[in-house]
Amino acid sequence: MSSSQPLPSTPPSAADAEATPQPEAAQPPPKAEEETSFARLLEQYSADTPASGPKTGDRLEGVVVNLTADAALVDIGAKAEGFIPIEQLRTPENGISVQPGDRLPVIVEGRDAEGSLRLSVLHPDRPRNFEDLRLAHEEGRLVTGKVMGLGKGGLSVKFGEGRGFLPAARSGAHNQEEMHALVGQEVRARIMRLEPARNSVVLDRRSVLEEQRLAAENAALERLHEGDEIDARVASLAHYGAFVDLGGIEALLHVSDMSWQHLDNPATLVAIGDTVRVRVLKIEPQKRRISVGIKQLGRDPWEDVPNKYAVGQRVRGKVMRTTDFGAFIEVEPGVEGLIHISEMSWSRKQPRPSDIVKPGEVVEAVVLGVKPEERRFSLGLKQALGDPWQEAEKQYAPGKIVEGKVRNLQPFGAFVELAEGVDGMIHIGDLSEQRLKHPSEAVKVGDQVRVQVLEFDRAKRRIRLGMKQLAPKPVDLYIAAHQTGEVVSGRVVRAYPGRVQLDDGVDANCPSAVKPKPKIEEGTLAAKLSAVWKRPGAEPQPEAPAGVQLKAGETRKFRLTKLDAEQRAVEVEPV
């Protein structure tokens, strides 16, 4: 067959084709074929995977698919799964906080060495960097961070890779000790100011605490009612009471509502941290104030007072405290009575209560008055000791000589304390024989004096005393210096009855002096009658009594016939 012969019109068979050798350039090289296959696979993967697949930092919502001992497998969509380390999901009770099927927000942390997506549970209030802080600030969300340290003016707070500054004034801490206690703690705060150019974040925790406190108070005010009984924790103490936490709001437990007994110091009954049972006494919603009490849980002891105590009854009690006006006595737990200073002693001088009784002493007193509606109990101490005036009349009868202490001076005289509660008065005229302008010329306050009782008035509780009555007089000295039978000179100061002056201030009676005969003048009726009586046969005149006629003004000798020192009496007879 020549070369010009035409080709067959029919295509060669398959066998022919196989038998017919092909030129080398018509077969593709092996490397080109592999690249074509990889390109087809990449195209297919790109068709199934969105261009915006999970990237580090993405925030997604996932579904827990499975739980293992080490991790939780989470489906985050787009045919992508990731894992969360199981430690992130453990609770304080060592349990797991999620179950398969639970949905939870996550953030893409990156990929591990095998290419698996590493996830973390997303907490919207826990920013991880400055960008998260910026978003929280724009959305007005609260953020949670860890206090890393205390610096000048405030605290440094860490948020993942970001940091913020919490000024001391906005920290909610009341003192430096509370500031130090926040270091290492997690705090919730509001972003008060953010400056991207300086990566500066200023936080405010105080307003967050105030909002929380206000919300808790509102809830407590709605929950609580007057008369409720509730357990409360003692939060703080003051000299006037304690503040207790009712679960969201603090209430005042006043010291007067702690016990029916008197308390000077609340710390003697409760301590900070104690749990006490209280009754809600008063709620003032507008003032956001609650008052509670402990003693109201028990019976008021004053309810039984009218049936147990009567005026005049003697009682025993313990001295609880003294004041300037008296002493308070605990008659029984929760019931106190007052012994007024005027009922402590019979003495007119007002003593200090602390000089008579001491706290802790047990004393006996008399009930003077009971007013349960006013919670008043009046007691008397001096009444239990007995009225000294009941025995005074025997001890201070008129004429008795006693001793006492000058306790007070007045222009009209001096007051002398004879015994506790028994005073007598020396009138200025009874202080001395001399004329005084003021009692201080004769005595001083505090002097111990010897006096004579001149008058005693039991009804008026009054004793009149004299001091000059005990001072030696001229007659006393004269009696002491002479003896009966002694002849002395004297001047007749009165003829009848005879009175003779023996010395200055010393007079004597002359019992033997007779009345002088009257002088009869001639021509008078008396003279005529006398002449008649002298005639023979007339009745004889009675003889003049035996004695001596004295003449006033004459000086003559007398014999001392009587010297009575007790009565201060002297008698003489003419010699």
Beta strands (DSSP E) in 214-349 are 229-238, 241-245, 250-254, 275-284, 289-293, 314-323, 326-332, 335-340
Q: Say if CB 163 and CB 127 are below 8 A apart.
A: no
d(CA 444, CA 423): 16
Q: Which residues pair with 15 in a beta bridge?
A: none
Per-residue pLDDT of the chain (575 residues; tens, 9 = 90+): 333 333 333 344 433 333 334 444 444 455 545 555 544 544 444 444 444 568 877 778 889 999 888 899 999 886 778 898 888 787 766 677 788 998 888 888 888 888 888 888 777 777 877 888 888 888 888 998 899 999 889 999 998 778 899 999 999 998 999 999 999 998 999 999 988 878 889 999 999 999 988 888 888 898 999 999 999 999 999 999 999 999 888 999 999 999 988 888 999 899 999 999 999 999 998 888 999 999 999 888 888 888 889 898 999 999 999 999 999 999 988 898 999 998 888 777 777 898 889 998 999 999 999 988 888 889 999 888 877 887 787 888 898 999 999 989 999 999 999 888 888 999 999 998 888 999 999 999 999 999 999 999 888 889 999 998 888 888 888 999 999 999 999 999 999 999 999 998 899 999 999 987 766 566 666 566 666 555 555 555 555 456 788 999 999 999 999 999 888 899 999 99
Give pairs for 167-175: CB < 8 Å, separation 24+. Answer: 167/202, 167/203, 169/206, 170/203, 170/204, 170/205, 170/206, 170/207, 171/205, 171/206, 172/205, 172/206, 172/208, 172/209
CATH number of 302-384: 2.40.50.140
3-state secondary structure of 390: helix
CATH class of the domain at 59-121: mainly beta
Parallel/antiparallel/unpaired status of strands 289-293 and 250-254: parallel
d(CA 216, CA 232): 15
| The CATH homologous superfamily of the domain defined by 389-470 | Nucleic acid-binding proteins (2.40.50.140)
Residues near 414 by beta carbon (within 8 Å), at least 6 away in sequence: 406, 408, 425, 426, 428, 431, 439, 442, 443
| Per-domain residue ranges of the chain | 59-121, 130-210, 224-297, 302-384, 389-470, 474-574
- CATH number assigned to the domain with residue range 474-574, chosen from the 4 options 3.40.50.300, 3.20.20.80, 2.40.50.140, 1.10.10.10: 2.40.50.140
Side chain identity at residue 377, one-letter code: F
Nearest CA to 301 out of 379, 384, 377, 378 is that of 377
Asked if domains 59-121 and 130-210 share a fold, the reply is yes
Side chain identity at residue 392, one-letter code: A
State the CB neighbour count (10 A cutoff) for residue 435.
8
CATH number of 224-297: 2.40.50.140
| The CATH homologous superfamily of the domain defined by 130-210 | Nucleic acid-binding proteins (2.40.50.140)
State the CB neighbour count (10 A cutoff) for residue 107.
16
